[in-house]
Amino acid sequence: MPRWTSAAASVRFASRARIPATRRQHSALATAAQAQQTRPPPASALALGPTPTQRPDPYTLLTPELNQLRTSLLSLLGSSHPSLSEIAQYYFLHPSKQLRPLLVLLFSRATNSLGRDWDSKASAACTEHKDELDRPLTRPDVLNDWNPSMPDHTASFSSVFDLHPPSRPKASSPPPSSSLLASLPPHTLILPTQLRLAQIVEMIHVASLLHDDVIDKSPLRRGAPSAPAAFGNKLAVLGGDFLLGRASAALSRLGENEVVELIASVIANLVEGEILQMRGAGQEATGVAVGAKSAAAEDRWAVYLKKTYLKTASLMAKGARAAVVLGGCREGEVWKEVAYAYGRNLGIAFQLVDDILDYEASEATLGKPGGADLRLGLATGPALYAYEEYPEMGPLIERKFEGEGDVELALSLVRRSSGVERTRDLARAHADKAREVLGHLPESDARIALEVLTERVVKRTW
Ligand code: FPP
Ligand code: MG
């Protein structure tokens, strides 16, 4: 019997002790909804339990993990080109919400041990994967060939056409030590693969911000000079590409094809969302011939919400789902669907509130002037609602607020309308849906923290 079996058994024991067997669910989300009475009470009912002050703060619950993630992430971004490392690390050095890593960690904590493959995934993550996570993907001389950080002993320009005999396979490694499993923080039970996934999603997010700040010509991010302002457009784009390269290598190290596929599809989604936004809502974006005003408005809303999913919610939804996959949850079990539905709704709520904040922003509050989206030609939730009350918004949206005084007129129409309020209601409705779906999870501190997050996303108290 392999030596790790007993350690896996101890994790199994610890996790089963935490979550009663009756709470283990293996059906899909749709069928889970019908069997609600056999499940723990919905998350909204939980709110009646602990008072708000007793409920765990999502960030406090995971402060050590989040700090560790941020620190160790910088070491993934080393390059012998100092300026490349500097730009790749630039946004990580400023305080940020780390919302996407937080979601990955909370879903890991809320669902680990529930899936049928938990035991095998936990063993693998703590044994073969744990050591492998930081190792290069292939032979170092192949991986680093012609790379500026190539070690001296590897292939050089002069010997590049030489054949290098493959190195002899290493003797099979000894069975993984049980101390590896024991090294898991017992209070969290977050696997090393899930911690790495949290870093990967943040790297992809930051890569998208580097590109976004070039596209949006943003002079500032979080009150400091943006990367393009500090380093120039070319280096900002290349820095983003470098981050994607490092994230991809780390992703393959997780040893889970389903997760690679999910996260790779997020990168495509981010680009699709940005293109959809650039082309603008309406006829041009959808290829639909639009005549009546109501049809055009409907079409604009459809494109706006699709773009919102692709640009923002996809990373949260698929990141959370990927965390659950790494924890051994299989197709047909409800957990993956819960993670996806939660992340999708939370992400849409988050972006809707972001779009409201753009109207309320000022140099003093957000480090950027209000109405930045209008200046980029974008009609977001508040403007689309204002159009329903003030038809004069139509031509402004049509010409992307490019006419003289268009931005100022649009700002005043939005202020006179109920656009901001209705956008907040829509955000709240998505946040409520996210909270509702948590009712399918067993009770845990992570589940309550996820619930708290749905309120915080709407109130934006951080
Ligand atoms: C911020 O939006 C930007 C995004 C959420 C995604 C941007 C995506 C791309 C530029 C596609 C390229 C993607 C990769 C992975 C290289 P915002 O402009 O509304 O928010 P902001 O006010 O924070 O800039
Ligand atoms: Mg932007």
For 207-240, how does the pLDDT look when each residue is reduced to its tens digit (9 = 90+)?
999 999 999 999 999 889 999 999 999 999 999 9
Tokens 């992570």 belong to residue: 446
Ligand nearest to the CA of 380: 1
Write phi, then psi, for 369 (nearest 5 degrees).
Answer: -75, 155
21: CA distance to ligand 2 center in Å?
Answer: 46
DSSP 158: G
pLDDT score of 402: 96
DSSP codes joined into one string, 77-95: T--SSHHHHHHHHHGGGS-
Give the sign of the dihedral formed by CA 453, CA 456, CA 461, CA 462.
positive
What pLDDT does 306 receive? 96
115 pLDDT more than 90:
yes
Whether ligand 1 lies within 6 angstroms of the CB of 274 is answered as yes
Is pLDDT above 70 for 148?
no
Which percentage of the chain shows pLDDT scores above 70? 71
Whether the per-residue pLDDT at 311 is higher than 70: the answer is yes
Of 60-64, 169-173, 224-228, 397-401, the poorest mean pLDDT is in 169-173
More confident residue, 446 or 296: 446
Nearest CA to ligand 1 atom 10: 212
Are 318 and 263 a contacting pair, CB within 8 Å?
A: yes
Q: How far is the CA of 212 from the centre of ligand 2 (A)?
A: 5
Q: Which of 77, 68, 306 is CA-nearest to residue 206? A: 77
384 CA from centroid of ligand 1 (Å): 21
Q: Which atom of ligand 1 sits closest to the CA of residue 351?
A: 19
Tell me the two tokens of residue 71.
């620190």
Lowest mean pLDDT among 4-18, 138-152, 214-228, 428-442: 4-18
270 lines ligand 1 (CB under 6 A): yes
The whole-number average pLDDT for the span 382-404 is 96
pLDDT for the residue 96: 86
Which residues make up the environment of ion ligand 2, defined by Cβ < 5 Å?
212, 216
Number of the ligand closest to the Cα of 354: 1
Least confident of 16-25, 126-135, 313-322: 16-25
d(C-alpha 198, C-alpha 99), whole Å: 10
Would you list the DSSP string of 327-349?
A: TTPPTTSHHHHHHHHHHHHHHHH
Confidence of residue 370 (pLDDT cuts 50, 70, 90): confident
- Asked if residue 240 has its Cβ within 6 Å of ligand 1, the reply is yes
Looking at residue 221, the DSSP 8-state letter turns out to be E
Q: Is 357 in the pocket of ligand 1 (CB under 6 A)?
A: no
- Classified by CATH at the fold level, domain 57-140+186-459 comes out as Farnesyl Diphosphate Synthase (1.10.600)
| C-alpha dihedral, 123 to 442 to 266 to 232, nearest 10° | -90
Using CA atoms, how far residue 172 sits from 2, 135, 136, in Å, is: 14, 17, 18
Q: Region 67-72: what's the mean pLDDT?
A: 89
Instruction: Name the pTM for this structure.
Output: 0.81
DSSP-derived 3-state class of residue 261: helix
Handedness of CA 75, 80, 81, 82 (dihedral sign): positive
For residue 170, is pLDDT > 80? Answer: no
Residue spans of alpha helices (H) in 76-231: 82-90, 99-111, 118-126, 128-132, 140-143, 178-182, 192-215, 227-231
Is the pLDDT assigned to residue 154 strictly greater than 50? no
Cβ of 311 below 6 Å from ligand 1: yes
Q: What is the mean pLDDT of the chain?
A: 80
| Confidence category of residue 362, pLDDT binned at 50, 70, 90 | low
- The finding on whether 19 has its CB within 6 A of some atom of ligand 1 is no
Closest ligand (CA of 271) = 1
Q: Which of 100, 204, 212, 311 should be mutated for ligand 1, with most atoms under 8 A from CB?
A: 212
For residue 195, name the pLDDT band (cuts at 50, 70, 90): very high
